[in-house]
């Protein structure tokens, strides 16, 4: 299954057209990266480029009494020093709320603060100099006088009725509150055979993209135009934001994303330093580069998760889960992130809990709470790991209460594969999922009965192994019904421009972006098949607002599902144009022709009639030889927005096999299993490693990763020596199997696979550790499951 040599790896040198989609083809652009020819923003330099560094707040909450920048201004190599007031003259404030989240509130923000800092590490003063080192040297010379303010460092402090308000004038410290209720919750709890409860805590995690955030702003005052080279997922979103907040016409703002060294949701939010750098370039009238160093990344990149969930389930005597009731409290930082907000994760937690199962009633209460810590917002698999862990922890408790095997209790509760379409109690509309098939496949894949037998045998010898499973539902491909109606200018649509070049090759400009997932590779495969050419002659270009049509880009797994369908429809349109021109040349009917391997052929019989290169030569250089009135359009532009179900949903199930050392609290992850259904698979090679990467991020959350703070709101582990990221020696082989349930909303049928790995891996790991410890009456209810927490659960201290 996981051996490197057991599957064809695109070995066929000349692939036949029509066979690219579904094949494990390597990514063309990866050849550059393995040759050391990557071009990341961190690598770029422009003539006369300056470098920015920031003086940061040492306090989590304080008033700024005085700033003295004179010594810094006079330091060697310094071009300018800017404070909040300097940038406020150029940049309008922003507020991180969405209109459809009723009652949501958040303070207006500026690039740098005017009078108050709200988290430790917040940038206060910017220094721009000839080199980063000179800018950092001058930062040391800036004097700032602070006055301490009360710090909201934990949920209970912030939620207390008499808590100091983080924002003066706000009635409480809640950014957002939401509740859901459906069905006879209280009646079902009153009459249930068992009520099982859970009280779970989820640590703060952060993305740790290996390339930190980076951008170069290049403002040209002569034409009032701005170019930003930006390591981002979403160039069009930033084009809009830089345009509106700095008053530069949209058409004069260009955002270009070259190679991006990881993103995971981190690189689509507005950061204060990034907004500041635009203004710094306007003030300096020279290009200004800013690259967060790793310490800065830890205190300023978004954090995520940080939830405390109380949950209970009403369980029938037969193991059926009748109802669930949950309360989620999540701490987000001093404001809601712009423009996607910090409320989406909690919202998705309470709406995804119970999603794989047939509940009769559900109640949820969400509190999104301000804190004096780094902002939290959307990070890979937004809300999914929390919802999944809560649901699956309760499922294990239901199994224990009724004496059922974990597979059996799920089999009795999963939404049957023949029950679709259907709707969850939280309002999600499911087109078609495959939980039962995935469950059955996982059991075989894990060789579950053998693992159980082995577990019993090893337990007798004092070896504590555990098996955990966790089913998930993943949200993908949002329609405009999400950010659009919330008032955020974030596209649900994507666009493609495909062109036959004069030599008969193909250029595809597309708005979905590449951060290593393989966007360019799969778009090329789709265009090749639906146009009728070999992948080798298709060039895919992404990531530049000046070049590609407008679109939402790559987030929420929309690259294949929305970007792929856009490419498919555009390729079809172009093919029709090519055949029309060819028909005019050949005096044939377009319907009688086809395009195969860049040759126009007779649809019946397949006889080659004319090469694509010849069609292009005639159209571009000898249009005089075409019949009068021939419309020789060998470039098409096409936009596509999903319009069927509000979201596509994918599903799957994970299994985790661990061994816990009860002396040390260390866990060896023996193997991890995933059965996932992402709809139509464009490229299994990419899907599988994408899922594995997601699993490892989820296992990191389960065992290692946590942004830890002290009572003064200071991040105490803001480096890669202290914040533990999973390494190769700690990670198991990860066995992947697929189900394929294409969505019928698109012709392509792809749904997305980016979150599938992360959504359920930490839940499966939690269940596995608890399974291992069950005979010892120990239970973990907090992730990450560090050795200290495991030993504490074991009563070791």
Partner 1 sequence: MAGAVPLTLTVNGVETARMVAPRTTLADFLRTDLELTATHVGCEMGACGACLVLLDGVPVHSCLVFAVQAQGQRVETVEGLVASGALAPLQQAFHERNALQCGFCTPGMLVNAHALITKGTVPDREEIRDAISGNYCRCTGYEAIVDAIEAAARKLNGEGAE
Burial bucket for residue 757 (CB in 10 Å: 0-12, 13-18, 19+)? buried
Output the smallest distance, CB 638 to partner 1, in A: 28
Q: Select the residue interacting with partner 1 from 693, 742, 752, 784 (CB under 8 A).
A: 693
Nearest CA to 350 out of 383, 395, 393 is that of: 383
Is 147 a binding residue for partner 1 by CB under 8 A? The answer is no
* 377 vs 683, beta carbon nearer partner 1: 683
- Which among 188-196, 525-533, 589-597, 683-691 is the span making contact with partner 1, rule CB under 8 A? 683-691
Give one DSSP letter per residue of 305-363, joined into a string: EEEEEEEEEEE-TTS-EEEEEEEEEEEEESS--TTT-SSHHHHHHHHHTTTTB--SEEE
Q: Select the residue interacting with partner 1 from 101, 189, 238, 264 (CB under 8 A).
A: 264
Q: At what angle are helices 235-246 and 272-284 packed, to 10 degrees? A: 60
Is 9 a binding residue for partner 1 by CB under 8 A? The answer is yes
* 27 vs 272, beta carbon nearer partner 1: 27
Output the smallest distance, CB 207 to partner 1, in A: 8
* 72 vs 260, beta carbon nearer partner 1: 260
Site string for partner 1, 77-106 (x = CB under 8 A): ------------------------------
Q: Compute how many residues bind partner 1; rule: CB under 8 A.
A: 63
Please state, in angstroms and rounded to a whole number, the distance separating the CA atoms of residues 629 and 584: 10
* 15 vs 422, beta carbon nearer partner 1: 15
Under rule CB under 8 A, which residues in 18-77 are in contact with partner 1?
Answer: 26-27, 30-40, 42-43, 76
Q: Select the residue interacting with partner 1 from 17, 111, 203, 212 (CB under 8 A).
A: 212
Output the smallest distance, CB 258 to partner 1, in A: 12
Is 666 a binding residue for partner 1 by CB under 8 A? The answer is no
Site string for partner 1, 718-737 (x = CB under 8 A): -xxx---x-xxxxx-xx---
3-class secondary-structure state, position 46: coil
Is 319 a binding residue for partner 1 by CB under 8 A? The answer is no
Is 223 a binding residue for partner 1 by CB under 8 A? The answer is no
Is 678 a binding residue for partner 1 by CB under 8 A? The answer is no
* 64 vs 687, beta carbon nearer partner 1: 687
- Which among 187-195, 205-213, 299-307, 420-428 is the span making contact with partner 1, rule CB under 8 A? 205-213
CA neighbours within 13 Å on the CB side: how many for 196? 21
* 417 vs 730, beta carbon nearer partner 1: 730
Q: Select the residue interacting with partner 1 from 334, 354, 757, 784 (CB under 8 A).
A: 757
Is 348 a binding residue for partner 1 by CB under 8 A? The answer is no
Output the smallest distance, CB 671 to partner 1, in A: 11
Q: Select the residue interacting with partner 1 from 91, 208, 512, 610 (CB under 8 A).
A: 208
Question: Looking only at Cα atoms, what is the longest distance across the chain?
Answer: 89
HEC readout, 611-672: EHHHHHHHHHHCHHHCCCCCCCCCEEEEEECCCCCCCEEEEEEEEEEEEECCCCCCEEEEEE
Contact between 196 and 397 under an 8 Å Cβ cutoff? The reply is yes
Structure-block tokens of residue 286: 């020279």
Please state, in angstroms and rounded to a whole number, the distance separating the CA atoms of residues 517 and 522: 9
Output the smallest distance, CB 458 to partner 1, in A: 21
Output the smallest distance, CB 578 to partner 1, in A: 31
Nearest CA to 785 out of 797, 197, 768 is that of: 768
Question: What does each C-alpha distance from 694 to 348, 380, 472, 615, 659 come to in angstroms?
Answer: 18, 8, 14, 45, 21
Is 690 a binding residue for partner 1 by CB under 8 A? The answer is yes
Is 210 a binding residue for partner 1 by CB under 8 A? The answer is yes
CA neighbours within 13 Å on the CB side: how many for 564? 29
Question: What does each C-alpha distance from 311 to 9, 76, 314, 372, 608 come to in angstroms?
Answer: 46, 59, 10, 27, 66
Is 354 a binding residue for partner 1 by CB under 8 A? The answer is no
Nearest CA to 531 out of 598, 615, 630 is that of: 598
Output the smallest distance, CB 301 to partner 1, in A: 12
Is 259 a binding residue for partner 1 by CB under 8 A? The answer is yes
Is 692 a binding residue for partner 1 by CB under 8 A? The answer is yes
Is 744 a binding residue for partner 1 by CB under 8 A? The answer is no
Give one DSSP letter per residue of 718-736, joined into a string: -STTTS----GGGPPPEEE
Nearest CA to 364 out of 314, 416, 310 is that of: 310
The β-bridge relationship of strands 734-739 and 667-677 is: parallel
The DSSP 8-state label assigned to residue 43 in this structure reads: G
Is 654 a binding residue for partner 1 by CB under 8 A? The answer is no
Output the smallest distance, CB 701 to partner 1, in A: 13
Nearest CA to 570 out of 665, 652, 635 is that of: 635
Is 697 a binding residue for partner 1 by CB under 8 A? The answer is yes
Contact between 703 and 785 under an 8 Å Cβ cutoff? The reply is yes
Output the smallest distance, CB 210 to partner 1, in A: 4
Please state, in angstroms and rounded to a whole number, the distance separating the CA atoms of residues 50 and 47: 9
Is 515 a binding residue for partner 1 by CB under 8 A? The answer is yes
- Which among 111-119, 498-506, 662-670, 714-722 is the span making contact with partner 1, rule CB under 8 A? 714-722
Rounded to 10 degrees, the C-alpha dihedral 757/649/379/358 comes to -80
- Which among 4-12, 280-288, 388-396, 628-636 is the span making contact with partner 1, rule CB under 8 A? 4-12
Question: What does each C-alpha distance from 184 to 360, 395, 648 come to in angstroms?
Answer: 8, 20, 29
Output the smallest distance, CB 719 to partner 1, in A: 6
Q: Which residues lie near partner 1 (CB under 8 A)? A: 2-5, 9-10, 26-27, 30-40, 42-43, 76, 133, 207-212, 259-264, 293-294, 515-518, 685-686, 689-693, 695-697, 719-721, 725, 727-731, 733-734, 757
């Amino acid at each position: 299954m996981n051996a490197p040599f057991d599957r064809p790896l695109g070995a066929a040198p000349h692939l036949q057209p029509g066979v690219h989609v579904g094949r494990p083809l390597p990514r063309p652009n990866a050849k550059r990266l393995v040759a050391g020819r990557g071009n990341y923003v961190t690598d770029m330099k422009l003539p006369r480029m300056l470098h920015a560094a920031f003086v940061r707040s040492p306090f989590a909450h304080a008033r700024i009494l005085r700033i003295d920048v004179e010594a810094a201004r006079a330091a060697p190599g310094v071009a300018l020093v800017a404070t909040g007031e300097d940038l406020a003259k150029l940049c309008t404030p922003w507020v991180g709320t969405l209109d459809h989240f009723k009652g949501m509130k958040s303070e207006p923000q500026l690039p740098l603060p005017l009078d108050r800092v709200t988290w430790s590490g917040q940038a206060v003063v910017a220094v721009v100099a000839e080199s980063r080192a000179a800018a950092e040297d001058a930062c040391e010379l800036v004097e700032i006088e602070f006055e301490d303010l009360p710090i909201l460092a934990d949920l209970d402090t912030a939620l207390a009725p008499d808590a100091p308000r983080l924002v003066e004038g706000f009635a409480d410290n809640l950014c957002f509150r939401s509740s859901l209720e459906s069905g006879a919750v209280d009646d079902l709890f009153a009459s249930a055979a068992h009520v099982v409860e859970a009280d779970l805590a989820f640590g703060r995690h952060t993305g740790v993209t290996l390339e930190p955030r980076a951008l170069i702003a290049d403002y040209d005052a002569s034409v009032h135009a701005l170019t930003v080279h930006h390591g981002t997922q979403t160039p069009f979103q930033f084009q809009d934001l830089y345009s509106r907040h700095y008053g530069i016409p949209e058409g004069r703002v260009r955002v270009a994303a070259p190679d991006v060294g990881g993103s995971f949701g981190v690189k689509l939010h507005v950061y204060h330093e990034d907004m500041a750098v635009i203004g710094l370039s306007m003030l300096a009238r020279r290009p200004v580069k800013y690259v967060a160093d790793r310490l800065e990344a830890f205190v300023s990149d978004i954090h995520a998760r940080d939830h405390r969930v109380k949950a209970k389930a009403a369980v029938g005597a037969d193991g059926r889960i009748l109802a669930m009731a949950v309360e989620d409290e999540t701490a987000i930082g001093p404001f809601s992130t712009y423009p996607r907000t910090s409320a989406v994760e909690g919202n998705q937690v309470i709406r995804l809990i119970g999603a794989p199962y047939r509940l009769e009633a559900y109640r949820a209460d969400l509190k999104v709470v301000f804190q004096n810590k780094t902002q939290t917002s959307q990070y890979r698999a937004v809300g999914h790991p929390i919802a999944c862990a809560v649901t699956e922890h309760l499922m294990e408790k239901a199994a224990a209460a009724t004496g059922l095997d974990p597979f059996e209790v799920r089999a009795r509760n999963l939404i049957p594969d023949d029950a679709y379409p259907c709707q969850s109690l939280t309002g999600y509309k499911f087109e078609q999922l495959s939980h039962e098939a995935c469950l059955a496949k996982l059991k075989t894949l894990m060789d579950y009965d053998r693992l159980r037998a082995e577990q019993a045998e090893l337990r007798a010898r004092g070896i504590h192994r555990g098996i955990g499973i966790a089913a998930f539902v993943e949200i993908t491909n949002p329609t405009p019904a999400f950010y659009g109606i919330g008032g955020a200018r974030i596209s649900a649509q994507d666009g493609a421009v495909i062109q036959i070049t004069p030599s008969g090759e193909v250029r595809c400009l597309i708005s979905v972006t590449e951060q290593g997932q393989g966007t360019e590779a799969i778009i090329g495969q789709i265009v090749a098949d639906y146009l009728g050419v070999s992948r080798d002659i298709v060039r895919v270009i992404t990531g530049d607002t000046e070049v590609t049509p407008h679109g939402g880009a790559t987030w929420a797994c929309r690259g294949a599902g929305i970007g792929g369908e856009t490419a498919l429809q555009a390729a079809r349109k172009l093919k029709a144009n090519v055949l029309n021109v060819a028909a005019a040349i050949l005096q044939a009917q377009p319907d009688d022709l086809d395009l195969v391997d860049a040759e126009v052929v007779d649809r019946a019989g397949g006889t080659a009639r004319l090469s694509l290169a010849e069609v292009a030569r005639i159209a571009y250089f000898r249009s005089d030889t075409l019949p009068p009135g021939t419309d020789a359009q060998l470039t098409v532009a096409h936009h596509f927005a999903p319009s069927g179900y509000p979201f596509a949903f994918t599903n799957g199930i994970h299994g985790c096999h661990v061994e816990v050392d009860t002396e040390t609290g260390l866990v060896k992850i023996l193997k991890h299993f995933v059965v996932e259904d992402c709809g139509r698979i464009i490229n299994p090679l990419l899907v599988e490693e994408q899922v594995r990467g997601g699993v490892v991020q989820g296992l990191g959350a389960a065992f290692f990763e946590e942004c830890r703070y002290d009572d003064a709101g200071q991040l105490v582990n803001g480096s890669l020596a202290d914040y533990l990221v999973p390494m190769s020696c700690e990670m198991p082989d990860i066995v992947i199997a697929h189900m394929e349930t294409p969505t019928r909303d698109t012709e392509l049928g792809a749904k997305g696979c980016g979150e599938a790995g992360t959504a359920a891996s930490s839940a499966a790991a939690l269940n596995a550790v608890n399974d291992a410890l069950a005979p010892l009456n120990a239970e973990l209810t907090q992730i990450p499951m560090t050795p200290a927490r495991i030993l504490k659960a074991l009563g070791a201290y």
